[in-house]
Amino acid sequence: MRKGPLYWILFILIADCSAHAAGDENRIPALIPAPNKIEIHNGHFAITSRTVLLAEGEALPAARLLNHWLGLSGLDTLPIRSVSSPRTPFVAFSINSDTAEAYSLRIKPGSITLSGSVSGLLRGTSTLFQLLVSASGGKIPCLGIQDQPKFAYRGVHLDVCRHFMPKEFVLRYIDILALHKMNTFHWHLTEDQGWRIEIRRYPELTRKGAWRQGSMIGPYRDQRFDSIPHGGFYTQEEIREVVRYAQDRGITVIPEIEMPGHAMAALAAYPQYSCTGRVTEVARGWGVFDDVFCVNDSTFAFLEGVLTEVMELFPSRYIHIGGDECPKTRWKECPKCQATMKANGLRDEHELQSHFIRRIERFLNGAGRQIIGWDEILEGGLAPNATVMSWRGTEGGIAAARDSHQVVMTPGSHCYFDHYQGERNTEPLAIGGYTPLEKVYAYRPIPAELNANEARYIVGAQANVWTEYMYDTKQVEYMLLPRLCAFSEVLWTDTSLHNLNDFYSRLTPYQQVLKGWGLNYSTTWLLPDYRIEPGTRPGTLMFSLQSKVPQQLESAWGTPDTKPVFSSYTGPIALESNGTLYIRSNTSGTVKTQSFEFEFSKAAGATVTLEPEGDKAYRNPGSVLTDARIGSLPWTGKQWVGWLGKEPTITLDLGRSVRIDSVAITYLHDPVSWIHAPRACTASVDTRETRVETGIPANGIGRIVIPVDESIDKLFITVESIGKNPEGNAGAGEDGWIFISEIQVY
Ligand code: TNX
């Protein structure tokens, strides 16, 4: 009689039940995302060259995936068999009737059993792989895991348009997603700056539309360009390969074909589908462009042709049709668009956008597909069956869920991995924003505003990787990891099990797994947190460090004429004069150095009251204005306070009476980012006021110096804004920002 794998599993389980290993390691292994239920037992399973993988039929992809990943890590692969011989230690992959992505993993001294549905096995394979990589001396602790995801939609997006990423990297990206138990890859394939998918009906899309003749270099505010052609695209064969590769890892690929905006590349290839007929160039700079698809029948015929080929390539239920950031400028002046509005009784261009989306939805629904789009698709009325990706905060998601539409949450505040992950100016150039690891970890996809019934429509969340400032694949890895590690736990592991310190303690050894694949992950999160507080005497400060993980800390004080000499950090450091404080951390061999410049004035450590407080991500405590640190660029993190459309009053309490002759206020002027220098600042002492106008500011960091020849202990500063963003500037007519970083008195 041929004995199937189950027979041998039973045989060995019984034969081995008396086995007990000495020296048990009862610690919880470094798994990410953390499993929902884990029990550690005595003993271990030892991997040797005799270990075999038992798998057949539908279980084979999981066994092959394990081997593929072992290979990527430079580890030996294990032979795959359909039956085991007695006493051979084995890893059995067995299909059961479990739902969706649940799996169970049992590790005993002589056997490992992984069971689940086809996709459950793939999720369990990531757990098993992580255990194998971190097994010290080939020993995996005996344990039992019962696991299933918290959210059904766990997505990661990649923009291959701003910078083209080769197919090989897309495959690697999919492996990274699967390793973190993500199940959806949102492939952003078309943009202003490049069309990346071969469409056989319309060859110009890739012949012309896949290439731009130069790119923006450096930060957006500099508006500098090179003239190096950039581009690339995926052939239909390559797309099929990517889709298959993802399928073998339990990942659905959702293609995004952007419309009606972000379409300059398509319009450069086929200008007849623009309103003016005169678009000639694939965009070289980042941003939002006025030229968009013209809303008329010939454009729809063209887009239906494109989408027909897209559907042939992608079996996913969802097709992403973009819908975001579509200016209505051209439509307002275009006779064809106006005729479409008239013929359909549409009142304004927002309804025209809605008409556009509904018409594309009807076409895709007719072919058995569903549309998904960015939250602008809510404007002018949501298409009946659409799923919404809420990116401009949570409001879009809340509105859509209340309207019984499915929602994927992807708010910029927590899910945009193109934002900075460190506040230090040593981070590579990024688009802006500040989304450190702990912020991602703290994300909760279900908005508190929703009741339980509405919350059911939040199917999950997605991390977005926009690549304006990611010039190559190494940079993408750096921005993705380890934030994806945190994000995967947000989406997979029940909230009751979340614990930031525990996550850090797992992430430290987990770096082995990332290193094994040669991934360029960021170690910014290893930097200790710091606090700068008023010192024991007025005019002085106290600097202290808090580690997130066990590490050695050293500090050194440097001035222009002394070289820093590090010594062990033992506690808070008192500061009272200008200079640079260096901090060095060593976390199991990963050494990182940071430096803090201090520029003291009599205001250092002064108590600051802000009226009103700052807005949104720039609501930092007033103390950052008197911490003797001039805010740096980019204005990430904690150094600046920003007010949107407001004129703040800032009160300084110096804690004693001092003689001064001037007050200096540091501001930022960056009109392309809607940040404008104040029009003027006024310093008031008792009833005397001195007002100084800024004049014509230069771009960047500037100072307003107000002469105040007085003895003071308190000082009031009122900041006047220039009003709305002026004509001819970014965001003209909208509220602008005021950014202040430091107030000094001399
Ligand atoms: C907004 S998110 C965009 C993208 C940019 C991104 C940069 C969305 C729907 N549109 O075109 O790349 O911001 O963070």
Q: Are 216 and 207 in contact (CB under 8 A)?
A: no
Buried b (16+ CB within 10 A) or exposed e, 678-708: bbbbbbbbeeeebebebeebeeebbebebeb
Per-residue H/E/C for 321-359: EECCCCCCHHHHHCHHHHHHHHHCCCCCHHHHHHHHHHH
Across 429-448, b (16+ Cβ under 10 Å) vs e yields: bbbbbbbbbebbbebebbbe
Q: Which atom of ligand 1 is nearest to the CA of 322?
A: 9
How far does residue 303's CA lie from ligand 1's centre (Å)? Answer: 22
Distance 312 CA to ligand 1 centre (A): 27
**For residue 17, what pLDDT is reported?**
31
Residue 677 tokens, joined: 């220098």
Distance CA 180, CA 183 (A): 9
Pocket flag, ligand 1, residue 393 (CB < 6 Å): no
Nearest ligand 1 atom, CA 468: 12
- Are 640 and 573 in contact by the 8 Å Cβ rule? The answer is no
State if residue 375 touches ligand 1 by the CB under 6 angstroms criterion. Answer: no
pLDDT tens sequence across 627-677:
999 998 777 668 899 999 999 999 999 999 999 999 999 999 999 889 999
Q: Is the CB of 391 under 6 A from ligand 1?
A: yes
pLDDT of 562 reads 76
d(C-alpha 130, C-alpha 509), whole Å: 11
Domain range 5-147, CATH class: alpha beta
What's the one-letter identity of residue 356? Answer: F
Whether residue 104 has pLDDT greater than 70: yes
* CA dihedral sign, ordered 480, 486, 487, 488: positive
Task: Using pLDDT thresholds of 50, 70 and 90, give the confidence band for residue 24.
Answer: very low
Please give the pLDDT value at position 633.
Answer: 79
Nearest ligand 1 atom to the CA of 324 is 9
374 CA: nearest ligand 1 atom: 9
Residue nearest to atom 7 of ligand 1 (CA): 466
Distance CA 169, CA 238 (A): 12
Q: Are 207 and 513 in contact (CB under 8 A)?
A: no
Average pLDDT over residues 30-47: 96
Nearest to 374 by CA among 348, 337, 400, 402: 400
CA pair distance 618, 674, nearest whole angstrom: 14
Q: What is the DSSP string of 353-376?
A: HHHHHHHHHHHHHHTT-EEEEEGG
Residue 92 has pLDDT above 90, yes or no: yes
Strand, helix or coil for residue 230: strand
Gap from CA of 588 to ligand 1 centroid (Å): 37
CA nearest ligand 1 atom 6, residue: 466
Is residue 316 scored above 90 in pLDDT? yes
b/e code 329-341 from CB counts within 10 Å (16+ = b): ebbeebeebbebb
- Highest CATH level, class, for 153-493: alpha beta
Q: Is the pLDDT of residue 567 over 90?
A: yes
Query: What is the predicted pLDDT for the residue at 5?
Result: 37
- Rounded CA-CA distance 607/625 in Å is 9
Atom of ligand 1 nearest to the CA of 286: 12
Full DSSP string of 646-660 = ---EEEEEEEEEEEE
Whether the link from the prior residue into 61 is cis, omega within 30° of 0, is no
Amino acid symbol at 580: T
The protein residue with its alpha carbon nearest to ligand 1, atom 8, reads: 324
Would the CB of 286 count as within 6 Å of ligand 1? Answer: no
Place of tokens 């965009």: 283
Ligand 1 center from residue 576 Cα (angstroms): 44
Domain ranges of the chain: 5-147, 153-493, 527-598, 607-745
More confident residue, 7 or 705: 705
Phi, psi dihedrals of residue 49, rounded to the nearest 5°:
-70, -10
C-beta of 416 in contact with ligand 1 (< 6 A): yes
CB of 408 shorter than 6 A to ligand 1: no
Q: What residue's CA is closest to ligand 1, atom 13? A: 466
Give 48's strand partners: none
Check pLDDT > 50 for residue 434.
yes
CA distance 204 to 546: 57
Tell me the three state secondary structure of residue 26.
coil
Q: To test the ligand 1 pocket, which listed residue (161, 324, 434) has its Cβ within 8 A of the most ligand atoms?
A: 324
Q: In the beta sheet, which residues pair with residue 744?
A: 664
What's the confidence (pLDDT) of residue 699? 92
Cβ of 510 below 6 Å from ligand 1 = no
Euclidean distance between CA atoms 579 and 733, whole angstroms:
43
- The pLDDT of residue 27 is 66
Task: Give the Cα separation of 264 and 270 in Å (integer).
Answer: 10
Quote the ligand 1 centre to 258 CA distance (angstroms). 12
Residues 6+ apart with CB under 8 A from 636: 420, 422, 423, 425, 427, 432, 433, 434
Chain Cα centroid distance, residue 691: 43
Least confident of 103-117, 232-246, 623-637: 623-637
CB of 187 closer than 6 angstroms to any ligand 1 atom: no
Q: What is the token pair recorded at 197? A: 């998918």
pLDDT band at 15 (very low <50, low <70, confident <90, very high): very low
Does residue 413's CB lie within 6 angstroms of at least one atom of ligand 1? no
Among the residue ranges 12-16, 240-244, 596-600, 615-619, the one predicted with the least confidence is 12-16
Q: Nearest-CA neighbor of 349 among 260, 248, 441?
A: 260
For residue 41, what pLDDT is reported? 96
pLDDT at 460: 98
Task: Report whether residue 129 contacts ligand 1, using a CB cutoff of 6 Å.
Answer: no
pLDDT tens track for 443-494? 999 999 999 999 999 999 999 999 999 999 999 999 999 999 999 999 999 9
Confidence band (pLDDT; 50, 70, 90) for 396? Answer: very high
CATH class of 607-745: mainly beta
Tell me how far CA of residue 648 lies from CA of 81, 520, 608, 651, in angstroms: 72, 43, 12, 10
From the list 155, 138, 696, 115, the residue with the least C-alpha distance to 389 is 155
CB of 25 within 6 A of ligand 1: the answer is no
**Whether the CB of 192 sits within 6 Å of ligand 1:** no
Cβ of 443 less than 6 Å from ligand 1: no
Q: What percent of the chain has pLDDT over 90?
A: 86
How far apart are the CA of 256 and the centre of ligand 1, in A? 13
Ligand 1 contact via 469 beta carbon (within 6 Å): no
Q: Given ligand 1 and candidates 161, 288, 390, 466, which is best to mutate, with the most ligand atoms within 8 Å of its CB?
A: 466
Could you write out the three-class secondary structure of 86-107? Answer: CCCCEEEEEECCCCCCCEEEEE
Residue 663: φ, ψ to 5°: -125, 135
* Residue 86 pLDDT class (50, 70, 90 cuts): low
The residue whose CA has the least distance to atom 4 of ligand 1 is 466
DSSP 234: B
Which fold would CATH assign to domain 527-598?
Immunoglobulin-like (2.60.40)
Q: In sequence order, which ranges of 164-230 are alpha helices (DSSP H)? A: 167-179, 204-207
Residue appearing with tokens 């990297």: 169
Q: What local confidence, expressed as pLDDT, does residue 21 receive?
A: 34
687-703 average pLDDT score: 94
* 557 has pLDDT over 90: yes
Q: What tokens were used for 558?
A: 């440097």
Mutate to test the pocket of ligand 1, among 264, 292, 325, 435 (most ligand atoms within 8 A of CB): 325
Q: Which of 53-67, 115-129, 331-345, 554-568 has the lowest mean pLDDT?
A: 554-568
324 lines ligand 1 (CB under 6 A): yes
335 cis-preceded (ω within 30 degrees of 0): no
User: In sequence order, which residues have a C-beta less than 8 Å from that of residue 574 and are 6 or more positions away?
Assistant: 535, 536, 540, 541, 542
pLDDT tens profile 205-234: 999 999 999 999 999 888 999 999 999 999
Q: Whose CA is nearest to atom 12 of ligand 1?
A: 466
Tokens representing 387 are 């799923």
C-alpha 523 – ligand 1 centre gap (Å): 26
d(CA 634, CA 420): 9
Least confident of 209-223, 259-273, 418-432: 418-432
Query: Separation of 466 CA from ligand 1 center, angstroms?
Result: 7
Q: Does ligand 1 have an atom closer than 6 angstroms to the CB of 289?
A: no
Nearest to 466 by CA among 591, 278, 288: 288
Closest residue by Cα to atom 10, ligand 1, is 324
pLDDT at residue 16 tops 70:
no
Q: What span, in angstroms and rounded, lies between the C-alpha atoms of 301 and 660?
A: 73
Q: Is 374 in the pocket of ligand 1 (CB under 6 A)?
A: yes
* pLDDT for residue 2 is more than 80: no
pTM exceeding the 0.85 threshold for the entire prediction: yes
Does residue 431 have its Cβ closer than 6 Å to ligand 1?
A: yes
Length of the chain: 746
CA dihedral angle for residue 239, residue 166, residue 417, residue 149, rounded to 10 degrees: 40
Query: Is the CB of 418 inside a 6 Å radius of any atom of ligand 1?
Result: yes
pLDDT band, very low/low/confident/very high, at 131 (cuts 50, 70, 90): very high
Distance 483 CA to ligand 1 centre (A): 18
User: Per-residue pLDDT for 306 more than 90?
Assistant: yes
At 390 the three-state DSSP class reads strand
| 411 pLDDT above the threshold of 70 | yes
Residue type, 709: D
Buried b or exposed e, range 567-587, using 16+ CB within 10 angstroms: eebeeebebeeebebbbbbeb
| H or E, element range at 509 | helix 500-516
Helix axes of 118-134 and 60-72: crossing angle, nearest 10 degrees: 30
| Banded model confidence at residue 12, pLDDT cuts 50, 70, 90 | very low
Number of H helices, E strands in the chain: 18, 35
Element (H, E) at 726: none
CA 244 – ligand 1 centroid, Å: 28
User: Would you place residue 90 in the very low, low, confident or very high pLDDT band (cuts 50, 70, 90)?
Assistant: very high
